[in-house]
Amino acid sequence: MTGTFIGIGVGPGDPELVTIKAAKALKTVDVICVPKSHAKKPSMALGMVKQILEERKKPAEILELVFPMSRDDLNNRKLWLESAAIVAAKAKKGNVAFITLGDPMLYSTFLYLYECVKETYPEIELEIIPGVTSVTAAAASCKLPLAEKEEVVTIMPSELNPTLIEKTAKYADNLVFMKCAHRIKEFIPTLLKAGFTDNSTVALVKRCTLPEEKVLVGKLCEVKSWDITEDYFSVAIVKKSQVPIHWKKMETV
C-alpha cells in the first residue's frame, strides 16, 4: 500500500510551539525529509524536533534534501523533480514527512516539492499539518494585534520592488513583511507615499521565539534611527494607525 506524503509545519523556532498533531506524526512516520540550503549547513527545523525524535521507539530515516537559494527557475525545477522522485519512491513503501519552519502553506520550501509530487505522482496521498506561523508569533512577541474589526492585513515578502509595495500598501491597514524584513528602513518613503504616517506603529522581530529573539517597537519616524543588523529570519509589522505600545524592552535587532 502506498504511504502518505505529509507536510509538517514545526513553527517559528520555539520547540514548545510544535503542535501535538505534528509531534504525533513525527513519532510514527518512516522517513523525515529535511530541507537544507547547503549540504554542510545544519537544519534549524530538524533541531527544533530533536527531542520529539529522541522519544521514538524506532529511529526514523532522515532524508536531507538540498535546495540552494537560487533564482535559476530552470535548475530549481530540475532539483524539485529529482527530489519528488526520491520522495515518491519512499512514499510507496511508507509514510514520509517533510518538516518546514512556520506553516507548510505560507512561503514554505515545502510548497515546491508538494506541487511536483502532486502533479507527477497523483497516486500518492497528501496531507498537510499546519504550524504556528512567524506572522502570528511575531505579533505575540511584540504584543501588537495583527487585525481588529474590519482592518485589512497584507502579507508580503520584503524582496518586492517599491512600486508594488506602494500599490499594495494603499489598500491595507496593516502590513507584514517577511524574509529579510531587516530592510524596513528602505520602505519608509514608499510607506509614506501609500498613506502611512510618521506616527504609524512599527514592530521588527528578529529570530522570533528563539533564545536570541530581538524586538523593536516604535513609530515609523523612529525606524531610521534603529540599529538593525541583517537577518533573513526577521518579520516586520507595520500598522497604519498609531496604537499604544506595551513593549517596554527596546533592544537592538
Domain boundary among 90, 105, 129: 129
Domain boundary residue, one of 86, 111, 129: 129
- C-alpha distances (whole Å) from 249 to each of 108, 245, 253 are 31, 11, 12
Pair 10, 105 in one domain: yes
CATH number at residue 160: 3.30.950.10
Confidence of residue 249 (pLDDT cuts 50, 70, 90): very low
Name the pLDDT band for 250 (thresholds 50, 70, 90).
Answer: very low
Instruction: Establish if 252 belongs to a structural domain.
Output: no
The three cell numbers locating residue 131: 504550524
Q: Where a domain ends, among 89, 104, 129?
A: 129
Each residue's pLDDT tens digit, 26-80:
999 999 999 887 777 888 999 999 999 999 999 999 999 987 666 666 677 888 8
In a domain, 230, yes or no: yes
> DSSP string spanning 123-137?
TSEEEEE----HHHH
Per-residue CA distances from 36 to 24, 25, 183, 251 (Å): 23, 21, 24, 30
Domain enclosing residue 64, as ranges? 4-129
Q: Residue ranges of the alpha helices (H) in 69-187?
A: 73-91, 110-120, 134-142, 162-169
pLDDT per position as a tens digit, 160-205: 999 999 999 999 999 999 988 899 999 999 999 999 999 999 999 9
Q: How many domains does the chain have?
A: 2
Q: What is the pLDDT of residue 241?
A: 85
The closest of 88, 74, 71 to 33, measured between CA atoms, is 88
Q: Which residues pair with 177 in a beta bridge?
A: 156, 236
Instruction: Note whether residue 196 is domain-resident.
Output: yes
Strands of 214-219's sheet, edge to edge? Answer: 153-157, 174-178, 234-239, 201-206, 214-219
245 assigned to some structural domain: no
Who's near 23: CB < 8 A, 6+ residues apart?
49, 52
Residues 77-123: tens digit of each pLDDT: 888 899 999 999 999 999 999 999 999 999 998 999 999 999 999 99
The verdict on 158 and 183 lying in the same domain is yes
| pLDDT of amino acid 36 | 84
**Whether residue 10 is found in the same domain as residue 102:** yes
- Do 156 and 199 lie in one domain? The reply is yes
Residue 4 CA, chain-centre distance (Å), reads: 23
Question: 226 or 76: whose pLDDT is higher?
Answer: 226
CATH number of the domain that 45 lies in?
3.40.1010.10
Residues 77 and 157 in one domain: no
Cell of 175: 502590513
Quickly tell me which residue has 506524503 as its cell: 5
* Helices 73-91, 110-120: crossing angle, 10 deg rounding: 70
Confidence label for 253 from pLDDT (cuts 50, 70 and 90): low
Average pLDDT over residues 7-13: 97
Same domain, yes or no: 228 and 158: yes
246 lies in a domain?
Answer: no
pLDDT band at 252 (very low <50, low <70, confident <90, very high): very low
Using CA atoms, how far apart are residues 51 and 65, in angstroms rounded to an integer?
Answer: 21
Question: Which of 249, 225, 229, 239 shows the shortest CA–CA distance to 195?
Answer: 239
